[in-house]
Amino acid sequence: MSIWEYANPRKFMTTSQAVLPWVAGLAAVLVITGLIWGFFFTPDDFRMGSTVKVIYIHVPAAIMGSGTWFMMLITSLVWLIRRHHVSALAAKAAAPVGMVFTLIGLITGAIWGQPMWGTWWEWDPRLTAFLILFLFYLGYMALWEAVENPDAAADLTSVLCLVGTVFAVISRYALIFWNQGLHQGASLSMDAEQNVADVFAYPLWTCIIGFLFLFVALVLYRTRTEIRARRLRALIQRERMA
Amino acid sequence: MIELLVRDLRLAIRAGGGFGLGLAFFLIATILMPFGIGPETGMITIIAPGILWIGALLACLLSLDRIFALDWEDGSLELLATSPLPLEAVAGVKALAHWLTTGLPLVAAAPVLAVLLNLPPQGFPWLLASLAVGTPALSAIGTFGAALTVGLKRGGLLLSLLVVPLYVPTLLFGAEAARRGAEGLDAATPLVLLAGITFATAATMPFAAAAALRVNLR
């Protein structure tokens, strides 16, 4: 029993069908619990007031926005090395999900920044790096759409994902060089002296894990759709040949 | 390799005037900027390094799809792929030819345009140095983008969308070096980092471009 068995589309379809309702249900429970907990049962911050509550959407969305690209990097590598179609399709399926998470992170950040920093947008390294990540998602998805041959599209987008990862990381550090930040530091790191207080941290962690399950559920669902679309395409081609 | 380089240079200079287009675009893009910003000299002086860098980047971007498009259409790209020369070398030579026909003229034209934009005198060497060091990276990255989109019918806009995010670090360091030079600050640090990007892209991008070309030629 190895993980590569799930590279078989049929095996993937049966397993994902069994797992999907549980993952989706868990995501719903965790996100709803975390949000209600965070919105109604935590105190206001003494400096930020009630605007602190945007953290329960902003931080999980931002984590998933960059985490999705990392997942796409791994699935792209699996496709390039082992040629498993499910892997390439999972990367394709994940891209719009990651793009939406990134966009949610940017928009909630702007909504929070307006009352707190007095500006919707600031050319801060973190913000700008996320905007660039958003552009990477756009380009990646556009390349998938543009190439007709599915295998060639998978190859080209995988190479783009690899190269894009390197440049995204370089951009992140180049931006730190370019401008001083306005964004606060990490609020959940293990070794930091100043983390968020526990009252905020527990619902926040609930939301983060809930968003993670939401991401897994969406990607499984979309990958299943992609596999069905691929099967349909094969059927149509077979009909034409006959 | 040298024959390929000479052939590409000859084609770029002779066939259909593609050679001067990038330069002309650089000229009009730079001239348009003051019209959009207003004629105050102080303001234009401040943003002159940035304008010149963005103009050079756009001019470079505009000419990228020609790197492989003509060779793709008449089939000589397939000949090159089957020739004993490795495809990585072909991609490298193509990037070099693109830089010689686009990047180098831009560097040469930049001082003239910098006079128009009232760049302070101490900024000239830094502007030239940053452009000379940075534009090869633009060509190398652009070759990869061109290789990704070579088989597509409407690849031009897609090419820009793919390449612009990859250009961010180069533009940041290049414009930063030119800006610091113009303001009389120490510009060596961004220039060195820019050189690092150029060397890294020159060393790695031909491999990525060749991988993309192999997929497209399959």
Q: What is the 3-state secondary structure (H, E, C) of B16-68?
A: HHHHHHHHHHHHHHHHHHHHHHCCCHHHHHHHHHHHHHHHHHHHHHHCCCHHH
B144 touches chain A (CB under 8 A): yes
Task: State the average pLDDT over residues A181-197.
Answer: 60
pLDDT at A163: 93
The chain A residue lying nearest B153, using CA atoms, is A146
Interface touch A142/B162, C-beta < 8 Å: yes
Check residue B205 and give its pLDDT. 93
Point out the residue among B166, B176, B218 whose CB comes nearest to the CB of A152.
B218
Residues of chain B positioned with their CB less than 8 A from the CB of A132: 165, 168
Among A7-16, A228-237, B43-52, B71-80, the range of highest mean pLDDT: A228-237
Q: How many residues does chain B have?
A: 218
Domains in chain B: boundaries: 2-217
Q: Within an 8 Å CB–CB cutoff, is residue A127 touching chain B?
A: no
In chain B, what percentage of residues exceed pLDDT 90?
Answer: 31
| Mean of pLDDT over chain A | 86
* Interchain proximity B215–A156, CB inside 8 Å: yes
Residue (of A214, A228, A182) closest to A86 by Cα position: A228
Intra-chain end-to-end CA distance of chain A, in Å: 38
Of A132, A136, A156, the CB nearest to B212: A156
Predicted TM-score (pTM) of the model is: 0.89
CB-CB neighbors (< 8 A) of B149 in chain A = 143, 146
Residues 6+ apart with CB under 8 A from A195: A187, A188, A189, A201
Query: Which of A90, A98, A97 shows the shortest CA–CA distance to A12?
Result: A90
Q: B23: pLDDT confidence band, cut at 50, 70 and 90? A: confident
Question: How confident is the model over B141-190, as pLDDT tens digits?
Answer: 999 999 999 878 777 788 989 999 999 999 999 998 998 888 888 888 88
Burial of B145 (0-12, 13-18, 19+ CB in 10 A): buried
Rounded to the nearest angstrom, the minimum Cα separation between A156 and chain B is 6
- Give the pLDDT band (50/70/90) at residue A30: very high
Lowest mean pLDDT among A66-70, A180-184, A210-214, B67-71: A180-184
Model pLDDT, residue B155: 74
Confidence class for position B11, pLDDT limits 50, 70, 90: confident
Helical residues (DSSP H) of chain A, grouped into ranges: 9-40, 55-82, 85-117, 125-146, 150-178, 198-241
Question: What band does A181 get if pLDDT is binned at 50, 70 and 90?
Answer: low
Q: What pLDDT is recorded for position A107?
A: 92
